[in-house]
Amino acid sequence: MERSENARVRIVVKFFKDTGYKVGQCVCASRTPHNTTQTTREQNLVVRMGRSSKDKRDIYYRLAKEEGWRARSAFKLLQLDQEFNLFTGVNRAVDLCAAPGSWSQVLSRKLRGQEETTEQVKIVAVDLQAMAPLPGVTQIQGDITKVSTAQEIIRHFEGHPADLVVCDGAPDVTGLHDVDEYIQAQLLLAALNITTHVLKPGGTFVAKIFRGKDVVLLYSQLKIFFSGVTCAKPRSSRNSSIEAFVVCQNYSPPEGYIPNMSNPLLDHAYDVDFNQLEGPNRVIVPFLACGDLSAFDSDRTYPLQLDSDKLYEYTPPTQPPIQPPYQQACHLRRNNLLSREDTASREDTASICPETERLSTQTAEQSHT
Ligand SMILES: C[S@@+](CC[C@H](N)C(=O)[O-])C[C@H]1O[C@@H](n2cnc3c(N)ncnc32)[C@H](O)[C@@H]1O
């Protein structure tokens, strides 16, 4: 057995000791040729159990696959629509931070639903990541905080402003709540900035917001551009998540406002401008729960067999990611390259590609800190 394999075994043994698991409770996922005791049938069973347990834990994940949505997020937009009637009279829409594309699917299905209106419908979807094509959706791969991306979106709508802009943008969370909230707020402001260029007066803007302390500041900024701003929490958005959505209706920018991509919109200081206000001057942002309240609770675990006369059947994901950022890490793990400590194995890794080498070195360094 190689040295790195020994280290792996030591880690697994420590895991069992620390957690109190008994070996029979869990099947070791080792892919080494030494572990040949599992039959294919058992392996398949384990794979299926693993998959269906996610189906059991997350009812909206499972329903999304059954209904053909690329992500469970589709239900959030659908439930927001139930409350706010977002799609009535909408022909042109922008989906910011769209990948893997379930919101674009909702837009495509809802706006292109009637054959005779398909010609007039224009949907532009933008994301940092590549997205599999969707009928009637023009895709732009780019960063919404960059002027060049904004200009590309604006070009698609020249002369014909959009009726609706949606943004489900979320940064890769760091776990540092203040940083995550700050980045989320910056994404929202970038989306708002693009919106001021492409949205028609009276149009609607929907965006993800984190229910952190800056919500009052963002709410006040949005109120300057929209006569109606509501913070809503769809039923399919877990209570345990700080995520919510702002639904901004009736776009009416201040008189004389000229959209400008290098304009930081309204650069208020949170503490000075808002946090020290008192009494009637202090804004308390109301939150609205939306979606049918008797609908599935996204924080609960449901049995796999929801319907007594319909047998549970596993549904694979509608559209697996086409170029996920974690692909490299999966490759390393699959080939047992993540845990190698010796220089020789790093040299092996480097022969795959320089990026693999960088990731492997980083992982080894992190595991020592
Ligand atoms: C929660 S996912 C969106 C899910 C999508 N609404 C759906 O229903 O499939 C958040 C997306 O935000 C994108 N994103 C984050 N920062 C971005 C940025 N600066 N520019 C463009 N997209 C960004 C990520 O790439 C990710 O695909």
- CATH value at residue 258: 3.40.50.150
Residue 283 placed within a domain:
yes
Residue 180 placed within a domain:
yes
**pLDDT category, 36, cuts 50, 70, 90?**
very low
**Domain co-membership, 153 together with 247:** yes
Residue written as token pair 């893997």:
100
263, 290, 317 - which closes a domain: 290
**3-state SS class at 42:** helix
Residue 21 has pLDDT above 80, yes or no: no
Q: What are the pLDDT digits (tens) for 131-185?
A: 999 999 999 999 998 888 888 998 888 778 999 999 999 888 888 888 888 889 8
Residue 257 has pLDDT above 90, yes or no: no
Query: What pLDDT shows up at residue 229?
Result: 95
Q: What is the mean pLDDT of residues 265-272?
A: 51
**Domain co-membership, 226 together with 347:** no
Residue 320 placed within a domain:
no
**On the CB side of 116, how many CA atoms lie within 13 Å of its CA?**
0
**Domain co-membership, 172 together with 272:** yes
Query: What pLDDT shows up at residue 260?
Result: 74
Give the residue, 56 or 6, on which the prediction is more confident. 56
Angle at alpha carbon of residue 170, lines to 364 and 90, rounded to 5°: 155
Q: What is the mean pLDDT of residues 271-282?
A: 58
Residue 344 placed within a domain:
yes
Q: What's the CA gap between 318 and 109, in Å, rounded?
A: 15
Residue 46 has pLDDT above 70, yes or no: no
Give the residue, 250 or 360, on which the prediction is more confident. 250
Give, using CA atoms, the residue closest to atom 16 of ligand 1.
171
**Domain co-membership, 175 together with 271:** yes
* CA Rg value for the chain: 24
Residue 37 has pLDDT above 80, yes or no: no
| Residue 95, strand partner residues | 125, 166
Residue 254 has pLDDT above 50, yes or no: yes
> pTM, whole model, 2 decimals?
0.69
Q: What is the mean pLDDT of residues 102-115?
A: 89
**Domain co-membership, 162 together with 214:** yes
Query: What pLDDT shows up at residue 45?
Result: 44
**pLDDT category, 274, cuts 50, 70, 90?**
low
Q: Domain range holding 340?
A: 326-369
Query: What pLDDT shows up at residue 116?
Result: 60
Helical residues (DSSP H) of the chain, grouped into ranges: 3-19, 40-57, 59-67, 74-84, 102-111, 147-156, 177-198, 215-225, 270, 327-334, 343-350, 354-368
Residue 354 has pLDDT above 60, yes or no: no
**Domain co-membership, 283 together with 338:** no
Residue 5 has pLDDT above 70, yes or no: no
Query: What pLDDT shows up at residue 73?
Result: 97
Q: What is the mean pLDDT of residues 234-251?
A: 94
CA of 187 from ligand 1 middle (Å) equals 10
Q: What is the mean pLDDT of residues 115-133?
A: 87
The token pair at 46 is 């384990």
**Which of 65, 76, 122, 208 is the catalytic position?**
208
Burial class of 279 by CB neighbour count within 10 A (0 to 12, 13 to 18, 19+): exposed
User: Which residue type does 289 have?
Assistant: A
Q: Are strands 199-210 and 243-251 parallel, antiparallel or unpaired?
A: antiparallel
Query: What pLDDT shows up at residue 365?
Result: 42
Return the number of other C-beta atoms located less than 10 Å from residue 207's C-beta: 24
Residue 98 has pLDDT above 70, yes or no: yes
**Domain co-membership, 272 together with 342:** no
Atom from ligand 1 closest to the CA of residue 100: 9
Q: Which of 10-19, 233-242, 250-259 has the lowest average pLDDT?
A: 10-19
Q: Look at the chain and report how many structural domains it folds into.
A: 2
| Ligand 1 binding pocket includes 140 (Cβ within 6 Å) | no
**pLDDT category, 262, cuts 50, 70, 90?**
low
Residue 363 placed within a domain:
yes
Residue 298 placed within a domain:
no
Burial class of 212 by CB neighbour count within 10 A (0 to 12, 13 to 18, 19+): middle
199-210, strands of its sheet edge to edge:
137-141, 122-127, 92-96, 162-167, 199-210, 243-251, 226-234, 287-290
**pLDDT category, 115, cuts 50, 70, 90?**
low
Residue 70 placed within a domain:
yes
**Domain co-membership, 256 together with 135:** yes
**Domain co-membership, 132 together with 228:** yes
Residue 224 has pLDDT above 80, yes or no: yes
Contacts for 367 with CB less than 8 Å, ≥ 6 apart? 339
Give, using CA atoms, the residue closest to atom 5 of ligand 1.
98
**Domain co-membership, 88 together with 182:** yes
Residue 146 placed within a domain:
yes
Burial class of 323 by CB neighbour count within 10 A (0 to 12, 13 to 18, 19+): exposed
**Domain co-membership, 275 together with 339:** no
Query: What pLDDT shows up at residue 28?
Result: 29
**Domain co-membership, 258 together with 351:** no
Catalytic annotation present for 146 = no
Q: Which of 23-32, 241-250, 301-310, 344-353 has the lowest average pLDDT?
A: 23-32
Ligand 1 pocket test, pick from 128, 143, 149, 243 with the greatest ligand atom count within 8 Å of Cβ, gives: 128
